[in-house]
């Protein structure tokens, strides 16, 4: 995956705080609802289920998305 202009993940916590992760390449939510913000294959940020309210993904793209018809 490569970075593109304007790519970002924003997490709003249960307390209302907004946290931005402009380096994120993917987001994973497990069965318990724990949220992991990934950079490549490495987990870079972690939010337990009770800690986050929602997240927004903007312009995350795979390296070869432009090659798809």
- The burial class, CB within 10 Å (0-12 / 13-18 / 19+), for 55 is middle
What confidence score (pLDDT) does residue 15 get?
A: 94
Instruction: Report which of residues 68 and 36 the model is more confident about.
Output: 36
The rounded Cα 16 to chain-centroid distance in angstroms is 17
Q: How many domains does the chain have?
A: 1
33 lies in a domain? yes
Q: Where in the sequence is the domain holding 21, given as residue range(s)?
A: 8-61
12 lies in a domain? yes
15 lies in a domain? yes
pLDDT band at 21 (very low <50, low <70, confident <90, very high): very high
Mean pLDDT, residues 30-52: 93
The span from the CA of 62 to the CA of 3, in Å, is: 9
Place of tokens 């009770």: 50
What is the value of pTM for the model shown? 0.72
Mean per-residue pLDDT over the chain, rounded: 83
Instruction: Report which of residues 40 and 3 the model is more confident about.
Output: 40
Please, which residues bridge with residue 40 across strands?
none
* Torsion sign (Cα): 17, 23, 27, 28: negative
């Amino acid at each position: 995956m490569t970075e593109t202009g304007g790519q970002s993940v924003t997490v709003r916590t249960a307390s209302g705080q907004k946290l931005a992760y402009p380096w994120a390449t993917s987001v994973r939510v497990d069965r318990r609802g724990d949220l992991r913000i990934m950079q490549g294959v490495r987990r870079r940020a972690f939010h337990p289920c009770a800690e986050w309210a929602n997240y927004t993904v903007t312009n995350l793209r795979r390296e070869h998305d432009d090659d798809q018809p």
